Structure 1
Amino acid sequence: MADTALTIPRRSPLAHAADRLAAATRTSGGAVRLAELPFLAQVNVRLDAKGAAADAVGLALGLQLPLEPNTVVRAGELTAVWLGPDEWLVVGPTGGQRDLESRIRAASGDEPVAVIDVSAQRTTLLVTGPRARDLLAHGCPLDLHPRVFGAGCCAQTTLARTQIVLVARDEPKAGFWVLVRSSFAGYLTDWLLDAAAEYV
């Protein structure tokens, strides 16, 4: 019997907006740079932060899970984002979710742990440039001043009434990750492009 399965090419939630994002970056003269980082591996982890599994998982990943609220720890290609007292989002390179899941499960041993691949749930917008904070401040209720929300901070918040996870990246001039549900990504991109018009 012939194999009739179709192979459908993978398409990111914002593939249709790539040209518009690039154009906004060009016309703003670098004041704001917008891009999608599609298909990042995203694994949600829940475990007892004071249990043996937390240290073991940290060793297996090569980074310590952040214990301070609203902080991020990065090592190499992995970033651990604090979501709650017993919950983290581990973000890694495209296609790495299965490896992350297995490493976390193996490291946790018999300790109770929940590990869920949520990579398809969200896409990531990268917002950088000297006016990135100003752009985000138009629609985010948080105080985004660097003294309050500096490098290595994160928060579950809203942007233009859309639920997001906002991460202030720790590399120099790295800007922000805006992790948004795929179904809201188009709307939020339209909002960002409209809000960025004043910097063009």
Structure 2
Amino acid sequence: MTDLLPVTAMGDSAPRSESFGPLTLSENAGLALASLALRQGQDAPTPFGLTLPDVARAVTSGELGAFWTGRGQWMIEAEGKAESDFAAALKAEAPGCSVTEQTDGFVVFEVVSEAGTAPLEALMSKLVNIDPKTLGPGCCTRTGLEHMTVFLVRRSETRLAVIGMRSLAGSLWHALSQAAHRLEY
């Protein structure tokens, strides 16, 4: 039998990371994702103690997080759990809910600014049709970025997660890295 080697969404043996002036763009290959959807008439659970966020909001608690994706729907995140059966753990925490594994369907790129909010907001201005001032910490949205649909999760003043389809990882990296490279610092 052939020896199989795990690769990241970018096709490398280790997550990709690159700096552009004060911005660092990194592939977060360790983040597990699972979608959670309520069934008709069901109340929102509190999986792993997380209070699921309201419309266009995101929450975190330690290594766990959740962001709103639609009415009665959320994406639940677990740092460092990509190699585990995170969906099964979430299903046990949210009985009766519809839970679907999403880790291998998406790529997560974390953008961090070492020089405050300005470089991060300048990058967002180049890439998406959203006023960066309206996407403050704890906010999320689904939007278009070039020809791709992405989730943007503003983790803090200086940190933004860009989550897109894994099959478009190379195109998404190219769009992010080229825009970051072209910013004047």
Amino acid at match of 2:66: A
TM-score (norm 1): 0.79
Residues 28 and 108 of structure 2 are in contact (CA less than 8 Å); yes or no, is this contact kept in structure 1? yes
- The aligned residue for residue 143 of structure 1 is 131
CA deviations on 1:120-165 (whole Å, 9 max, x unpaired) are 00111111214122112212011111xx110000011111221101
- The aligned residue for residue 65 of structure 1 is 52
SS in 1 for 2:178: helix
- Please list every run of 5 or more consecutive structure 2 residues that lacks an aligned counterpart in the other structure: none
Distance 1:49 1:128 in 2: 39
Distance 2:153 2:24 in 1: 16
Higher strand share: 2
- Please list every run of 5 or more consecutive structure 1 residues that lacks an aligned counterpart in the other structure: none
Distance 2:94 2:172 in 1: 37
Distance 1:104 1:137 in 2: 35
The partner residue of 2:71 within 85, 95, 104 is: 85
Q: Which moved more, 1:74-83 or 1:95-104?
A: 95-104
SS in 2 for 1:82: strand
Identity fraction in percent: 24
Amino acid at match of 2:131: D
- The aligned residue for residue 14 of structure 1 is 10
SS in 2 for 1:64: coil
- The aligned residue for residue 46 of structure 1 is 37
Alignment CA distance shift 1:100-1:15 (3 Å): closer
Alignment CA distance shift 1:11-1:50 (3 Å): same
Higher helix share: 1
Distance 2:110 2:167 in 1: 17
Distance 1:100 1:115 in 2: 10
Distance 2:41 2:15 in 1: 46
Amino acid at match of 2:178: D
